[in-house]
Amino acid sequence: MIMVTGATGQLASLVLDELARREVPALGATRTPAAHQRRLDLDDPATIDLAGVSTVVLVSAGYAEDDQVVARHRALLEAAARDGVEHVVYTSLTGAGDHLGFALAHRATERLLEASGLAWTVLRNGLYAELVGALLTWTPAGLRSAFGDGAVAAVARADLAAAAAVVAAAPAEHAGRTYDLVGEPVTAGDVAARLGVPLEGIGLGEYRAGLLADPALLPFQPPMLASIASSVRHGFLAATGPDLATLLGRPLTDPLEVAVATAAAMRPDRAA
C-alpha cells in the first residue's frame, strides 16, 4: 500500500488524485483525516502508524522553522524504519534552490533519507508556477514585483504531483535516484505582459520592509519570501532540465499559463 502524507494539502491531494486516476491503491494520511484516511501529525510522533504501508510519499511539511520541519521529517523516517516501510519518496527542493531560506530543511531531510537504510527517491521540486503568480502583488496601477528581470523555471503543481505518482507506482525503478523537477522560465514581466498590465519593479529593501511590516506573516516567512525574491532576481532559479518531462512522458503544462491564472484570480477587482 502507498501512503501519501499531508493528504489535505494541495500537492498531496493532487498526488492522491493522480494515483486514483491510474487505479493505484493509495491511502491519504493527514492531521485532519476523513473516514477513509489515516491520522498523521508529524509534530506528534505517537500518531505515526505506518503498519501495512510499503511506500510512503513524504510530502514536505514546511511552513515552520527549519528545526521543526526537520524534526517532522525525522519522525516519519524513524517510524518508516520501525514499521517495515520499504521505500520513501520525498518531495524536496530543486538543486537550484540551495540559496533559499528553506533549503536547509530539505537538504537535511535528504541526508536523513540516505542514512535511513530505506530505499528512497528524492523529487527535487522546482518553484510552483502558482507560487510565482501569487508572489506578484496587485496595486491600483498593475502588478508589483521584487523579482527584477529574473526568471524562475516554474512548474505547475499538478505536474509535480503526476511525477510523484509515477514514482510511487513503481518505486523500485526509481530507487536511489534524485530527480530535479523544474519547468520553463517565467518572469514577472511575462505575467504582466500576458495580463496586459504595467509592472512596477521594487528593490529587495522595499520588499523586505513590506514583509517585516505585515502582521499576517509568521516570523519565518519574511526571510523565506525575501530569499525567494533574491534568488530569482540574481538568476539562481532560471535553469531548466529534462527530468520532469522524462518522468511524465509528455510535455509540461505551460507554467506561464498557470502563473497568469493565479495572478489574475488574485486581482482585487476580480477576486471573489
Residue (of 133, 99, 131) closest to 223 by Cα position: 99
Distance in angstroms (rounded) separating the CA atoms of residues 264 and 225: 21
> Which is nearer to ligand NAP, 3 or 199 (by Cβ)?
3
> Which is nearer to ligand NAP, 121 or 125 (by Cβ)?
125
73-112 footprint of ligand NAP as x/- string (CB under 6 A):
------------------x---------------------
Q: Which three cell numbers stand for residue 112?
A: 536523513
DSSP labels, 54-100:
SEEEEE---SS-HHHHHHHHHHHHHHHHHHT--EEEEEEE-GGGGGS
> Which is nearer to ligand NAP, 42 or 197 (by Cβ)?
42
Q: Quick one: which of 30, 55, 227, 253 contacts ligand NAP (CB under 6 A)? A: 30
Q: Quick one: which of 2, 56, 57, 62 contacts ligand NAP (CB under 6 A)? A: 62
Q: Which three cell numbers stand for residue 52?
A: 501495512
Q: Quick one: which of 20, 22, 43, 267 contacts ligand NAP (CB under 6 A)? A: 43
Residue 243 within binding range of ligand NAP, rule CB under 6 A: no
Q: Which three cell numbers stand for residue 89?
A: 519518496
3-class secondary-structure state, position 152: strand
Contacts of 23 by beta carbon, 8 Å cutoff, 6+ apart: none
Q: Quick one: which of 50, 59, 118, 226 contacts ligand NAP (CB under 6 A)? A: 59
Q: How many residues does the chain have?
A: 272
Stretch of 54-62, 116-124, 137-145, 169-177 contacting ligand NAP, by CB under 6 A: 54-62
- Residues lying near ligand NAP in the complex (CB under 6 A): 5-12, 30-31, 40-43, 59-63, 72, 91, 125, 127-128, 131
